[in-house]
C-alpha cells in the first residue's frame, strides 16, 4: 500500500510538471507579457528594463526552471486586469466554486445511485422506462440550456428562486464566507447546483443501472438466491457493493469535471466563482489567471485520480498487495 502511494505520488508529480510546462508556454508565448503590463507611452528602454527585471531575457530553460520554482512556492504572479496577486483572486473565488461543486456532486451522486438502483431492481417498470427516457434528455441537453430552462420555470414563471448571484453569506473564516448556513444561501445555490449536477446525475444513474443489472446476472447472485438468502440481502449487500466498486472510478472523475465545467453554470447564473473569473480572464487575455486556473484544475484531477485509485484498492480485496498501475 505504501509503495503504491509513493508510486502514485511520483506519477502525479510528472503529470503536474507536464501541465506546468504547458502553463509556462501559455504564459510566455500567448502575447508579450510586457506589452500587457505597460501603457502605450512606455519607452523602449523602460520596456527592456522591465523585461530584464522579469527575467524574460534569460534562456527559455532558465525561465522554465524559475517558473516551476514560482509555481512550487505558490507564487502565480499578478493579474493583468486586476493588478492583484492571482493567488488572492482565486482564493476569494474558491469558496463559491467549491460549495457549488460539492452540493452539485452530492446531489448527483445520491440521486444518481438511488435512481440507478431503482431502475435496475425494476427493469420492466413504467417508472424505470420514464426515468431512462428523461435521463437521455438530461445527457443530451447542453448545460446552459438546462440552466436557462430552470431559470425560466423557477425564477421567471414561478418566482420561487433567485435567478442569479450568490447570497445569504455568513463568514466562517477570514477567507471563507459560506452560503450553506442560511435558507437564502441554499435558495440561490439550488438552481446552479441542479444545473451543474444534472448531467452527472443522469450519467451516474445510467451507469449504476447497467452495472447493477450486470451484477444481478452474476453467478454469485444466483448462488446467493439458491442458498436461501433473503432478497433484500441479495440486493443491498451482495449486488449493490459489487455495483459500486467500478462506479467509484467514474464518479471520481465526474467530480473533477464538475469543478472544471462549472465555468458554464457559473456564467449562466453569474455565480462569483473561479469559473466566472476564468471566463473574464480569457476575454481580457489575462494570462496569469488562465495558466493558474489550468494548473489548479490539473492538480485537482491528479489528486482525485490518486484518491480514487487508493479507494479502489481499499475496497476490492482482489487488488490488495497486487501492483496495479
- Shortest separation between residue 222's beta carbon and another protein, angstroms: 7
Bridge partners, residue 177, by sequence: 171
Helix residue ranges, H only, the chain: 2-29, 33-37, 44-53, 60-72, 86-121, 126-140, 143-150, 183-216, 219-226, 231-233, 240-260, 262-268, 274-283, 287-315
Pick 83 or 124: Cβ nearer another protein: 124
Complex with another protein: residue 171 or 228, whichever CB lies closer: 228
Interface positions with another protein (CB under 8 A): 218-220, 222-231, 233, 237-238, 241-242, 245, 315-318
Report the nearest approach of another protein to the CB of residue 236 (Å). Answer: 13
170 secondary structure, DSSP code:
E
Nearest approach, Cβ of residue 220 and another protein (Å): 5
Please give the radius of gyration of the chain, using alpha carbons only, rounded to the nearest integer.
24
Shortest Å distance, C-beta 325 to another protein: 19
Nearest to 79 by CA among 71, 68, 90, 65: 90
Residue among 41 and 219 whose Cβ is closer to another protein: 219
- Asked whether 242 and 215 are in contact (CB, 8 A), the reply is yes
Least distance (Å) between residue 37 CB and another protein:
58
Instruction: Pick the closer one to another protein by CB: 200 or 242.
Output: 242
- Structural contact between residues 63 and 55, judged by C-beta atoms closer than 8 angstroms: yes
**Min dist. Cβ of residue 224 to another protein (A):** 7
> Which is closer to another protein, CB of 246 or CB of 272?
246
Distance (Å) of CA 141 to CA 30, 44, 107, 150: 33, 52, 19, 13
Instruction: Kindly state the helix (H) or strand (E) to which residue 177 belongs, with its residue range.
Output: strand 177-178
Q: How far is the CB of 237 from another protein (least distance, A)?
A: 8
Nearer to another protein, 201 or 234 (CB): 234
Task: Say what the alpha-carbon torsion angle 166, 172, 173, 177 is, to the nearest 10 degrees.
Answer: 0
Rounded Cα gap, residues 101 and 264, in angstroms: 12
C-beta of 99: minimal distance to another protein in Å? 34
Q: Which is nearer to another protein, 10 or 225 (CB)?
A: 225
Q: Report how far residue 184's alpha carbon sits from residue 186's, in angstroms, rounded to the nearest whole number.
A: 5
Q: Which residue has the cell 473564516?
A: 173
Cβ-based nearer residue to another protein, 175 or 320: 320
Amino acid at each position: 500500500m505504501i509503495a503504491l502511494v509513493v508510486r502514485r505520488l511520483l506519477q502525479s508529480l510528472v503529470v503536474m510538471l507536464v501541465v506546468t510546462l504547458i502553463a509556462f508556454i501559455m504564459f510566455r508565448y500567448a502575447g508579450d507579457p510586457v506589452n500587457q503590463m505597460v501603457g502605450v507611452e512606455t519607452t523602449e528602454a523602460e520596456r527592456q528594463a522591465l523585461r530584464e527585471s522579469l527575467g524574460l531575457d534569460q534562456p527559455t530553460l532558465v525561465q522554465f526552471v524559475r517558473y516551476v520554482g514560482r509555481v512550487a512556492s505558490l507564487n502565480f504572479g499578478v493579474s493583468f486586469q486586476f493588478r492583484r496577486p492571482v493567488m488572492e483572486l482565486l482564493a476569494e473565488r474558491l469558496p463559491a466554486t467549491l460549495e457549488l461543486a460539492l452540493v452539485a456532486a452530492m446531489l448527483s451522486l445520491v440521486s444518481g445511485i438511488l435512481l440507478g438502483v431503482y431502475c435496475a431492481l425494476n427493469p420492466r417498470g413504467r417508472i424505470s422506462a420514464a426515468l431512462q427516457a428523461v435521463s437521455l434528455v438530461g445527457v443530451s441537453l447542453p448545460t446552459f440550456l438546462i440552466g436557462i430552462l430552470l431559470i425560466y420555470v423557477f425564477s421567471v414563471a414561478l418566482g420561487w428562486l433567485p435567478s442569479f448571484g450568490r447570497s445569504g453569506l455568513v463568514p466562517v473564516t477570514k477567507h471563507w464566507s459560506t452560503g450553506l448556513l442560511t435558507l437564502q444561501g441554499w435558495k440561490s445555490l439550488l438552481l446552479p447546483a441542479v444545473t451543474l449536477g444534472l448531467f452527472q446525475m443522469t450519467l451516474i444513474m445510467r451507469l449504476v443501472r447497467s452495472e447493477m443489472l450486470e451484477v444481478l446476472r452474476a453467478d454469485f447472485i444466483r448462488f446467493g438466491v439458491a442458498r436461501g438468502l433473503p432478497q433484500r440481502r441479495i440486493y443491498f449487500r451482495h449486488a449493490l457493493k459489487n455495483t459500486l466498486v467500478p462506479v467509484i472510478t467514474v464518479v471520481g472523475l465526474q467530480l473533477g469535471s464538475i469543478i472544471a465545467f462549472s465555468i458554464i453554470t457559473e456564467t449562466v447564473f453569474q455565480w462569483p466563482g473561479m469559473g466566472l473569473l476564468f471566463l473574464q480572464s480569457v476575454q481580457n487575455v489575462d494570462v496569469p489567471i488562465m495558466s493558474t486556473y489550468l494548473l489548479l484544475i490539473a492538480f485537482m484531477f491528479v489528486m482525485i485520480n490518486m484518491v480514487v485509485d487508493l479507494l479502489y484498492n481499499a475496497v476490492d480485496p482482489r487488488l490488495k498487495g497486487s501492483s496495479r498501475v
